[in-house]
Amino acid sequence: MTPGAMLDGSRCTFRVWAPEAGAVHLKLEGGQGQCVPMASSTGGYFTATVEGVHAGQLYRYQVAEHAWPDPCSRFQPEGPHGPSQVVDRRAYHWHDQHWGGIALEGAVLYELHVGTFTAEGTFAAATQRLGHLKALGVNAVEIMPVAECPGRFNWGYDGVGWFAPSHNYGPYDAFKAFVDAAHAQGIGVVLDVVYNHFGPDGNYASAFSPYYQGSRNTEWGGALNYDGRHCAAVREMVVANAWEWISQFHLDGLRLDAIQSIFDDSRPHIIAELAAAARAAAGGRRILVIAEDETQRGTWLLPAGQGGAGLDGMWNDDFHHAAMVAATGRREAYYHDYLGTPQEFVSAAKRGFLYQGQYYPWQDKARGTPVHTRSMHFVACLQNHDQVANSLEGKRLHQQASPGLCRALTAMLLLGPQTPMLFMGQEFHASAPFLFFADHEQPLRQQVHAGRSEFLSQFPGMGAKDARGLVADPADEATFRRCKLDWSECSDDSPALRLHQDLLALRREDPVIRGQGRGGFDGAVLGEQALLLRWFGGGDDRLLIINLGADLRERPMPEPLLAPPAGRRWSLVWSSENTRYGGSGTVDPGLDSGGLVPGHSAMLLRAVEGDSHVQA
């Protein structure tokens, strides 16, 4: 049986886990109200079935002298501190009967935060922008967490009502309508979920049982109890939650937040268990399960029978960090162990993580484990919610690097064999920052501000330990509103938008690039700040040359990967210096006679029929 309130016609069954409670009563609000004793059942659960209940009914559970909202509520119309609401999970009429889901190969992800993606900050408003995403070339959106959390605005990682889509974004069915509309546009929806901790405000699970939390801690609070005493019900809840999002909301995947803080010494590991449940819930649809793991344990990608969890992909921070160093020249804080060199990009394209078990000076320990899988299993980005916000003013890449470098790095991201992800507004160089925001009351408000300031103080430019006066107050509504995208900046004549559209069209339509290295892939360093990536296509090869430094004039160019297939020559297909992107003009590199690769540029070449030999 699923925890929470399950409505069947006019009969509703309520189920809550409270193993230490002597008695639990169901309190139905409104009208004359009812107080219904709940029956104790095995495993510490209490249940009650009530006739004459309809969608919209408000309720709480009374334990001892206090009445609390349902920790597995499906909707909280007044927020996490208010009463829970019965919903009819079958009421929404779906239109996606022929939707088959999404696969990792060919996926282009687009991360967005519902509250700042549009001025209105709702699921309904976000739906109106799906046509833009389809035209851009995106086929999967990754939604930052939407589980109910306190306040008027929040990143979502403070979720306490894991089963309830936030009331700030619309009524219960609004999220379903968004997913349905996305599928109509050929776009999948992946949801960011947080299973490592509960948020610090509005979490009433502890009022029902002290065993939700285990003996270990995360940097955001107590870790959940996945392997200690009475852990079975906690595991059931998490598995049921994964099942719920996939089955009831027709989601196309889950992104598991910070799994390095999901502690479980039992077998099967809870991550493997919930991933299997999510796939089963899809009922034949293809879904993705992607994880963020700061420790970079690539073994999660292995099948469960080989010690992994059968995950489809993992976020690759190494790619982002190397790109930021190349773009800005700054090696502060956790960028310390990256150089932004061509070799890092070649290695990332071929092998995914750069750290796979070697010493990592920033943490003074080894980081990562070896991985042996195609690089498409690694999600790479130049921007995401964390990394944009981890600067004092929430600056985006185009506000920190030269236009040429931005174009070259964007080409490497969107044409490379990894799975690319864009962050909302990146495609049109949005001016809006993305800062950390969370609407908390005192004293939590002050604590969160201090904690955020302390975290950012690792960057020397923020004044060491006195960064607090420089960091925007996360609970200030103005901080939140500054982060809303200004869609008037997105126009058809935007050079940045043209760049992203053209690159994604190449990724989608070019048969060799689309294969993400399936027919063979390699790369090499061309110079101190230049590299090449080569896709093999049975003679129909592709060559991407990226120069992150000054003009590269090489004669000779003693790199075998520059040699075209026999009887063929290299022909320029695309250049980041095209004037439609704001470049200074396309230059044919002339590789057959030595070569010129302009500084801060990228160019894609194709092997075509013809003699490549040129007399000196």
Please give the average per-residue pLDDT across 336-353, as a whole number: 97
Please give the average per-residue pLDDT across 574-588, as a whole number: 92
User: Strand 419-423 relative to strand 378-381: parallel, antiparallel, unpaired?
Assistant: parallel
Res 614: pLDDT: 46
Please give the average per-residue pLDDT across 70-91, as a whole number: 97
Q: Which residues contact 509 (CB under 8 A, 6 or more apart)?
A: none
Please give the average per-residue pLDDT across 585-598, as a whole number: 76
Residue pair 521/351 in contact by the 8 Å Cβ criterion: no
Please say if the pLDDT value at position 214 is more than 90. Answer: no
Q: Which fold has domain 516-609?
A: Immunoglobulin-like (2.60.40)
Please give the average per-residue pLDDT across 477-499, as a whole number: 97
Please give the average per-residue pLDDT across 460-486, as a whole number: 82
Res 616: pLDDT: 33
Task: Show me where the domains of the chain are located.
Answer: 4-85, 112-503, 516-609
Binned at pLDDT 50, 70 and 90, residue 610 comes out as confident
Considering the candidates 292, 312, 318, 337, report the single residue annotated as catalytic.
292
Superfamily for domain range 112-503: Glycosidases (3.20.20.80)
Binned at pLDDT 50, 70 and 90, residue 33 comes out as confident
Please say if the pLDDT value at position 59 is more than 50. Answer: yes
Give tens-digit pLDDT for 354-373: 999 999 999 999 999 999 89
Question: Which tokens belong to 436?
Answer: 């950390």
Same fold, 4-85 and 516-609: yes
Please say if the pLDDT value at position 504 is more than 70. Answer: yes
Please say if the pLDDT value at position 459 is more than 70. Answer: yes
Please say if the pLDDT value at position 38 is more than 70. Answer: yes
Binned at pLDDT 50, 70 and 90, residue 554 comes out as low
Res 615: pLDDT: 39
Res 464: pLDDT: 45
What length does the chain have? 616
Catalytic site includes residue 142: no
Please give the average per-residue pLDDT across 118-147, as a whole number: 98
Please say if the pLDDT value at position 260 is more than 50. Answer: yes
Binned at pLDDT 50, 70 and 90, residue 273 comes out as very high
Please say if the pLDDT value at position 613 is more than 60. Answer: no
Please give the average per-residue pLDDT across 586-596, as a whole number: 73
CA–CA distance from 257 to each of 197, 355, 398, 448, 552 (Å)? 10, 20, 27, 19, 41
Q: How far is CA 5 from the centre of its chain?
A: 30
**H/E run at residue 347:** helix 342-351
Binned at pLDDT 50, 70 and 90, residue 593 comes out as low
Farthest-apart Cα atoms in the chain, separation:
96
Binned at pLDDT 50, 70 and 90, residue 163 comes out as very high
CA–CA distance from 134 to each of 251, 415, 475 (Å)? 18, 18, 34
Give tens-digit pLDDT for 404-435: 999 999 999 999 999 999 999 999 999 999 99
Angle between helices 231-249 and 174-184 (to 10 degrees): 50
pTM over 0.75: yes
Q: Which residue has the tokens 């750069």?
A: 354
Residue pair 179/140 in contact by the 8 Å Cβ criterion: no
Quote the mean pLDDT of the chain.
Answer: 94
Res 14: pLDDT: 97
Please say if the pLDDT value at position 192 is more than 70. Answer: yes
CA–CA distance from 424 to each of 105, 116, 236, 382, 485 (Å)? 21, 9, 34, 12, 8
Res 467: pLDDT: 56
Please say if the pLDDT value at position 555 is more than 70. Answer: no
Beta bridge partners of 24: 63
Is the model more confident about 387 or about 32?
387
Please say if the pLDDT value at position 129 is more than 70. Answer: yes
Superfamily for domain range 4-85: Immunoglobulins (2.60.40.10)
Residue pair 416/353 in contact by the 8 Å Cβ criterion: no
Percent residues over pLDDT 90 in the chain: 88
Please give the average per-residue pLDDT across 263-277, as a whole number: 96
Catalytic site includes residue 292: yes
Considering the candidates 111, 142, 257, 273, report the single residue annotated as catalytic.
257
Peptide bond preceding 210: is omega within 30 degrees of 0, i.e. cis? no
Res 466: pLDDT: 53
